[in-house]
Structure 1
Amino acid sequence: MENPVNIAVVYYSSTGTIAEVAGELAEAAEKAGAAVRLRKVAELAPQAAIDANPAWAANAAATASIPEATSDDLVWADGVLIGSPTRFGNVAAQLKQFLDTLGPIWQQGLLAGKVYSGFTSAGTGHGGHESTLLALSHTFHHFGGIIVPPGYTDAAKFADGNPYGTSHFDQGGTVPVGDVTRAAARVQAERVVKIARATRAAAERDAA
């Protein structure tokens, strides 16, 4: 029996929006036949700051059982979905710190040739959705990755409106992740699984 394609979903989330999107992506990838690792990156904020924000504290408790990401998760993966809330139009410091630890495996070429795709959220409608996803793509270029955006490949993407990746507008934390975002996430996950599977099959043929 053919081994399943390996998909890592790696994210940072403070108050839970990105954690929900990551969970939707992971579930959709599994349904598409992938072996999935759902991983959060390490928190850098002091506990006092987390405790002072009820939503942040609630998310920390709710996701306590999710393992922290390591470089091994990316080495294992054929495809990687990486997510961050937007911070001034860029990725969160916690995710950037994790990416900065990947130098050793990057130098060995272990990040090249994999499929990569990003997801994000923002509190305002034009608060950096696209710029955050494009910032992630800069890293994917340096990895030598195969960047797979969802594009407008499904009607759900016209509803979500973002061809660069899944993004959610939570209006300052007042709008939970709903059907539009979940549908967009499923489209993205299925596309990543499909192309990662084809990419791995081609590499295996070349190596045979």
Structure 2
Amino acid sequence: MKQFLDTQGGLWASGKTVNKVVSGMSSAQNPHGGQEATLLSLYTSMMHWGAIIAAPGYSDPVIFGAGGNPYGTSVTVDQEGNMVEDVEDAVKHQAKRTVNIAESVKNGNQS
């Protein structure tokens, strides 16, 4: 992921990432595997791009059902790669929120 982000310099330097709406999600193999720190680091790169971050915050109770990460949905996976938490509703909420914010930006809505 870091290598991919590092290749985006030309795009953001030419202004092609400015005002693009972005949102991040993460996973780890242990419950406290740095999911929040990973998202914050990801968002730091996106801030350099001039992107608009659409974090879910605590905008819906489904966030708490998925572990309560306000920066983005995160999930723990077991040794076989199976998700431990049920994050489907949180992922759907975060995706819908991101699309709604992108539509507002595109349409010039103030709220």
Q: Give me the TM-score of the superposition, normalised by structure 2.
A: 0.89
| Structure-2 residue corresponding to 1:171 | 78
Question: Which one of the candidate residues 107, 111, 117 is aligned to 2:23?
Answer: 117
Asked if the contact 1:119/1:166 (under 8 Å) is kept, the reply is yes
Asked if the contact 2:75/2:85 (under 8 Å) is kept, the reply is no
Q: Give a deviation string over 1:30-74, Cα, whole Å, max 9, x none.
A: xxxxxxxxxxxxxxxxxxxxxxxxxxxxxxxxxxxxxxxxxxxxx
| Structure-1 residue corresponding to 2:97 | 191
Moved over 3 A (4+): 171-174
Point out where structure 2 has 5 or more consecutive residues left out of the alignment: none
2:106 match: secondary structure: helix
1:149 match: secondary structure: coil
Q: Give a deviation string over 1:166-201, Cα, whole Å, max 9, x none.
A: 111113346x23772111100100000000000011
The whole-number CA distance in structure 1 between the counterparts of 2:78 and 2:5 is 28
Give % identity. 43
Question: Which one of the candidate residues 69, 92, 104 is aligned to 1:162?
Answer: 69
| Structure-2 residue corresponding to 1:181 | 87
When you count strand as a share of all residues, which structure comes out higher?
1
1:121 match: secondary structure: strand
| Structure-2 residue corresponding to 1:128 | 34
Q: Give a deviation string over 1:113-146, Cα, whole Å, max 9, x none.
A: 1111101101111111100000101001100111
Point out where structure 1 has 5 or more consecutive residues left out of the alignment: 1-94, 204-208
Matched to 2:2, the amino acid is: K
Matched, 1:151 2:62: no
Q: CA RMSD in A?
A: 1.7
The whole-number CA distance in structure 2 between the counterparts of 1:172 and 1:178 is 10
Question: Post-superposition shift, 1:98?
Answer: 1.2
Compare CA radii of gyration and give the structure with the larger one: 1
The whole-number CA distance in structure 2 between the counterparts of 1:201 and 1:179 is 36
* Structure-to-structure mapping, 1:79-118, within 5 angstroms: 95-118=1-24
The whole-number CA distance in structure 2 between the counterparts of 1:131 and 1:144 is 20
